[in-house]
Chain A
């Protein structure tokens, strides 16, 4: 549920010396993203997407840097970032498996698929394998109801999944 507040009071922010929002990234945003919008704030989603693409998640330090870059308070960027499920404020596995659980997928067997993945990886939805390879999540509709059941692994959509063929997909991900 997107509206559940994230821990903020008393959070220890891990810091590193070199910035996440590098000068190169800033120059790229200035040239390609900011001219698109009448306000700097509107670049929040594209900036967060790019940061997550680079670092696989969005560290708090990066949120502060993004806020300074966009000219808004860090709380504003955190507010936005924490609202959207696709933004990860904690590290996640190398492969993020999102198994669709909405109606068409449930009708066509998402349950057995999810059970199989859970037992194979030994984790429940929301958890990451100890080796950091896989994070398992359930997702609401991925927009592929005609080819249910489906799952998204990072940016690749797998459609018409059977338990066996997805087993092979998981084996192939190293």
Chain B
């Protein structure tokens, strides 16, 4: 199984189809000359609902980490009531290991704009806000340049080819974030867009019902929207001819893994970078075929499948198939954003866990106590273990902690703490011996149980 032609990186030279050294910004003319905006033109000839149905048929799952079916999300919108409806594009890519959207924003932003225009037509959304992380200075400028071109060619703005939507000419704006990971959480993003601190909201109401400015809002990741243009141009069947499809034992109504996906590989490999492949590619193939293998002298030890919140794949999972169902199969949280971080035999897993815990402690927004306090303590405990001051009790405490905070145990509003949990818990479980060797075998004399704590 291998992708026969590039889809998302069609205009961005990427191995094995091109040399990254040849990458340059794809402007409006280049984009349209190579088939760009064909999906939009075709969509505009269709009824909005028919466009939603194609995306639904394609079973396009969100590429931002959660893998929620995009077509289904679109169909959650209430009927039009004459008021405004918004699209917010999540370009707040900030989870360690994830750098795939950056490639699209840097070189082929029109692919995103095409998807934006299609979803505005399909869902009757009058204004799109692209929420881009503050650190992406260059990307924000490139995006603005592409948007200006799109306005000049009447994709957006007065007399747009989309026509009036909710009595507005469709608009597309860049909205810059300011360095907060939590704003990648969809409701945190909405709060930030409204000018407030990026504290996630309690759901329901879901954004489709009451999102930005309390109006119906769709939130999609950059890569998800970039995929919409090619799907509309070539059809759902073409999209579903790629990817792993439905894994065995998965009910036919459950979402499956279709289509191509961007994989961002970093860490101890020869040629790190963003590559495009079908969902379901083996980790070993990704590393050996695309990344030139491990670095000289390096042997595979572990890999994070998709941004550090997803947990870790162990040494025996070198052949793991990277699709949306990896969570159950390989005891991790999921595929996430497919930002793969590869680690070799010299990597200290205690330090890895400490690094990850620090990230979440740093980025916790502070709204829910279990996460604000829990991630901080997780970091302190792991730092203590790394420095040699840990005891066996600490390992139990870490496991207990990682089972008690987060949206899955139901103690927090959003899933930030779950990311910390899964990362720390899977590293602990898969590399228990390494942790055990680092802590003193002594158990503290006063146990929590004796103190009535358990």
Contact = CB atoms under 8 A, between A and B. Distances in A.
Contacts of A135: none
A1 to B, nearest CB: 6
A143 B178 contact: no
A23 interface: no
Interface stretch (B231-239, B260-268, B319-327): B260-268
B99 A45 contact: no
Contacts of A104: 96-97, 266-267, 272, 341
A154 B207 CA distance: 35
Given A44-B195, A84-B178, A141 B173 contact: no
A140 interface: yes
A36 B171 contact: yes
Interface stretch (A6-14, A126-134, A145-153, A165-173): A145-153
A114 interface: no
Contact of A141 (B96, B213, B347): B96
Interface in B226-277: 264-268, 272-274
Which bucket holds chain B's interface residue count?
A: 35 or more
A1 B379 CA distance: 13
Given A1-B362, A1-B364, A140 B181 contact: yes
B171 A145 contact: no
Nearest to A104: B266
B341 A107 contact: yes
B304 to A, nearest CB: 7
Interface in B338-352: 339, 341, 343, 347, 351-352
B359 interface: yes
Interface string B132-156: 0111111000000000000000000
A29 interface: no
B395 to A, nearest CB: 21
Q: Is the interface of A mostly helix, strand, loop or mixed?
A: mixed
B402 to A, nearest CB: 18
Given A103-B308, A106-B351, A152 B135 contact: yes
A38 interface: yes
Interface in B171-185: 171, 173, 175-182
Interface in A34-61: 36-39, 41-46, 48-49
Contacts of B355: 101-103, 106
A86 B179 contact: yes
Contacts of B182: 2
Given A79-B196, A143-B98, A42 B213 contact: yes
Contact of B173 (A36, A83, A142): A36
Contact of B265 (A1, A3, A46, A146): A146
Contacts of A36: 127, 171, 173
Among A42, A101, A141, A156: residue with most chain B CB under 10 A: A141
Contacts of A1: 361-362, 364, 366, 376
B178 A146 contact: no
A62 to B, nearest CB: 15
A145 B97 contact: yes
A30 interface: no
B365 interface: yes
Contacts of A79: 196-197
Interface in A65-103: 70, 76, 79-80, 83-87, 98, 101-103
B343 A48 contact: no
A164 interface: no
B363 interface: yes
A147 to B, nearest CB: 7
B195 A43 contact: yes
Among A39, A49, A79, A143: residue with most chain B CB under 10 A: A143
B232 to A, nearest CB: 27
Given A39-B213, A41-B196, A45-B192, A103 B352 contact: yes
A76 B196 CA distance: 8
Given A45-B176, A102-B359, A146-B273, 8 more contacts: A2-B180, A2-B197, A36-B127, A83-B365, A84-B198, A104-B97, A108-B267, A157-B137
Nearest first, the 10 A-B pairs at minimum CB distance are A3-B366, A44-B195, A84-B178, A86-B179, A83-B197, A145-B266, A102-B96, A86-B178, A155-B137, A41-B195
Interface of B: 84, 93-99, 102, 127, 133-138, 171, 173, 175-182, 192-198, 213, 215, 264-268, 272-274, 304, 308, 339, 341, 343, 347, 351-352, 355-356, 358-359, 361-367, 372, 376
14 contacts: A3-B366, A36-B171, A84-B197, A84-B198, A86-B134, A102-B308, A103-B308, A106-B351, A107-B268, A107-B341, A107-B347, A140-B96, A143-B98, A146-B99
